[in-house]
Amino acid sequence: MIPDFTLPAPLRPVTLADVSDRYLGWLNDPVVNRYLETRWTPQSLDIIRGFVSAQIAATDSLLLAIEDQGVHVGNLKIGPINRHHRCADVSYFIGERSCWGKGLATAAIRAACDIAFARFDLHRLQAGLYAGNVGSLRALEKAGFTREGVWRQQLLGPDGWEDHIFLGMLRQEWTP
Ligand SMILES: CC(C)(COP(=O)(O)OP(=O)(O)OC[C@H]1O[C@@H](n2cnc3c(N)ncnc32)[C@H](O)[C@@H]1OP(=O)(O)O)[C@@H](O)C(=O)NCCC(=O)NCCS
């Protein structure tokens, strides 16, 4: 989907020009991809281009670039969007490790809430993560998400079975 509205920082539309060796390097970095499902499939520029093209064409998903001082450092996706239940998943990564711990993921998740509730008129946003991904958990909680549930040992993490933790935010809980 290509957004027809101004995006809140640190988000901007993603384009095929964003597909670069740097982006490929993020997905192939074992520290970055530790908790990303992309790690199960060998990545290439062609595979990333195919993914970004499909996301731009999709009607139920919005893929966005996360920027730090005008530089593309990661991505955030709102989708799939369920129009009947007015809810969507949110997922993200900051590929540039030097940008970790600066509040970027928290800001990007907050911006995603703004888009989901103020632009898409959704009722809820949800995210799932490996229990060991404490940075992601903390970013979601700082953005105002509530821990809702757990599927025990559903995910094969880097060091063995991990719980799959689910968080969500309802529209009425969102404070812009
Ligand atoms: C997880 C990730 C998104 C966090 O992004 P970030 O921009 O560094 O997060 P923020 O700076 O907004 O940090 C939010 C909070 O988490 C804490 N945090 C971040 N990474 C952490 C880590 N590895 N361990 C412990 N705490 C961490 C921060 O200190 C901050 O808390 P504080 O304000 O109380 O100090 C980023 O490390 C990343 O993209 N990792 C690889 C891909 C990934 O795991 N994506 C998420 C899949 S669910």
| Model confidence, pTM | 0.98
Per domain, the residue ranges of the chain are 11-125
Query: By percentage, how much of the chain surpasses pLDDT 90?
Result: 99
Q: Between helices 21-28 and 45-57, what is the axis angle to 10°?
A: 100
Number of the ligand 1 atom closest to the C-alpha atom of 95 = 39
Ligand 1 centroid–CA 138 distance in Å is 7
Q: Is the Cβ atom of 139 under 6 angstroms away from ligand 1? A: yes
User: How far does the centroid of ligand 1 lie from the alpha carbon of residue 78, in Å?
Assistant: 18
Name the CATH code of domain 11-125 (choices 3.40.50.170, 3.90.1150.10, 3.30.450.20, 3.40.630.30).
3.40.630.30
In tens, the pLDDT along 44-68 reads 999 999 999 999 999 999 999 999 9
**CA-100 nearest atom, ligand 1:** 8
What 8-state DSSP symbol labels residue 175? -
Overall size of the chain counted in residues: 176
CA distances to 8, 57, 114, 156, 175 from 107, rounded to whole Å, are 9, 26, 11, 29, 13
Phi and psi dihedrals of 122, rounded to 5? -80, 165
Confidence of residue 115 (pLDDT cuts 50, 70, 90): very high
